[in-house]
Structure 1
Amino acid sequence: MPALRAERLQRDLELALRLADAADAQSLPRFDAADLEISTKADRSHVTDADLATERAIRGILEVERPEDGIFGEEYGAQGSTERQWIIDPIDGTANFLRGVPLWGTMIALAIDGVPQVGVVSMPALGRRWWASAGSGAWTATDAAPRQLQTSQVATLDDASVSFQSIGQWTEAGRRDALLALADRVWRDRAYGDVYAYMLLAEGHLDMVAEFDLKEYDIAAAVAIVREAGGRMTSFDGEETISARSTLATNGILHDDFLSLLHA
């Protein structure tokens, strides 16, 4: 049974990588385009014609190749099964995308019974891609060959480098004091933003990322990759879920220390 499961996940990962190819073909030509169409959603966030076209391209392939699976995407909502569910953020970092900042990417995950088992993140404006499936490690593409990822071995908060996303986000979550305590405690604090911060964590360049006001599609792919790289991702309160609307991602070694610091 484990061998059959691994074989199925490998096929799912291969499909996810093809979905990322299709996504890149939609999003990259629209990046920094003079005629980019931008509108505002009910929650006051932005959406572009590229977000919509990218998600449609992914859904179109899944509906043909995995008709029995469910889909949950940022732009077109949820449909079908939640037992095996593809979770899609067509362009994570839309604000960057529409301002011509290259730190945006497509996030594709397959969650089985709510747990991300496959994840792909593609950032075509950087020429980078990351992927993982449960039990097979996390990887990134390089010019020479795929390279396996490993989170850092940093073992003390004094030496930790962290990304906090934004001061406003922590303030709105009622966590501003915790953010200030974090900044005072660690070696280095920056706001790299969106999915890129999680990939820096998986590569071992950061030791913690925390974020609030999240949907499942904002983190599902990152969860699969960070965990397979040796890290840990929970809610801000330590729950093993992608539905808590917050996340604390660490190199694993420091996870409990960060939880203690942020809840002191």
Structure 2
Amino acid sequence: MTATIDIAALANLLQEAAVEEILPRFRNLGEGDVRMKTEAIDLVTEADEAAERLIRKGVAALLPDALFVGEESVAADPTLLGKIADADLAVIVDPIDGTFNFASGLTLFGVMLAVVSKGETVAGVIYDPIGNDWALVEKGGGAWLCRPDGSQEQMSVRPSGPLEQMIGIANTGFFDIDTRRRILSNLADVRLFTSYRCAAHEYRLLGQGHLDFAMYNKLMPWDHLAGALMMQEAGAHVARFDGSAYLPHHTEGGLLIAGDPDAWQELRERIFTV
């Protein structure tokens, strides 16, 4: 690794952004503070942009040589995405994951950060501003839920059961209509599926053993790098739809997460036939 990663300092930085820029605006957004990006369900708020500015400044102080890739930065300069694969060190940030929920006054939103070293995700943080706790991961060091009182709990996915009893996350909105119809029909074979429109909380639920699987089609690095590493360290099987490894520069190919390889294969063959 090209630099020492102070995961605690990065975690505290996300908390600072929430306290200073995000929470004061929660349920307090004024007219013009919410704007549409690509469609009505793809929003950006003043809180997203202000939080990203604060986080970017903090990352520059902690890791001055790192490439900074934020969701809002990429909206302004899409070429940043292409620089992740070759960067010696990169920090990828989603200042508010679940912006639609945030703008709607729902508490299901989080702040996400991943550290990539030479094309490999090596650390991640998922912070919940409402619960004021963190899910932290470092490659080879496990995934941990860290509470504000200092207590820690190691995250571990739950053992896989039969398909008809599985509960999970299925984000089908970015498939073409025929594929979406087929997958939604197949999903009748699982016990329950949903989408919280917030990968931050979905990954945390998986890592705490409350869900059996998650499926995503759209892969933006700020949405999935921290969570994918977290799930691997929590014991899950994580791969793209074709079975290949998910890497930081991937933006296509889908992502399927399950408790073990056999459950992953069954879900892939019986449910998520793209």
**8 Å CA contact 1:210, 1:236 repeated in 2:** no
Using the size of structure 2 for normalisation, the TM-score is 0.84
Tell me what 1:116 maps to.
121
Which of 30, 34, 39 is matched with 1:38 structurally?
34
Amino acid of the residue matched to residue 151 of structure 1? V
Tell me what 1:23 maps to.
17
**8 Å CA contact 2:10, 2:59 repeated in 1:** no
Q: Which runs of 5+ in 2 are unaligned?
A: 75-79
Tell me what 1:255 maps to.
264
**8 Å CA contact 1:115, 1:241 repeated in 2:** no
Name the CA distance, whole Å, in 2 between partners of 1:125 and 1:64.
26
Name the CA distance, whole Å, in 2 between partners of 1:173 and 1:214.
20
Which of 179, 183, 206 is matched with 1:174 structurally?
179
Tell me what 1:64 maps to.
61
**8 Å CA contact 2:101, 2:197 repeated in 1:** no
Tell me what 2:77 maps to.
none
Name the CA distance, whole Å, in 2 between partners of 1:150 and 1:70.
31
Percent of matched pairs sharing the same residue: 27
Q: Which residues in structure 2 correspond to 1:1-264 (within 5 Å)?
A: 11-25=5-19, 26-35=21-30, 37-42=33-38, 45-77=42-74, 78=80, 82-142=87-147, 145-165=151-171, 167-170=172-175, 172=177, 174-181=179-186, 183-195=187-199, 196-242=201-247, 243-245=250-252, 246-253=254-261, 254-261=263-270, 262-263=272-273
Using the size of structure 1 for normalisation, the TM-score is 0.87
Q: Which runs of 5+ in 1 are unaligned?
A: none
Aligned in 2, Cα 1:157/1:82: closer, same or farther, shift over 3 Å? same
Number of residue pairs the alignment of both structures matches:
256
Name the CA distance, whole Å, in 1 between partners of 2:89 and 2:265.
30
Please report the RMSD computed on the Cα atoms of aligned residues, expressed in angstroms. 2.4
Aligned residue for 1:175, secondary structure, equals helix
Aligned in 2, Cα 1:155/1:115: closer, same or farther, shift over 3 Å? farther
Amino acid of the residue matched to residue 230 of structure 1? G
Moved over 6 A (4+): none
Aligned in 2, Cα 1:234/1:23: closer, same or farther, shift over 3 Å? farther
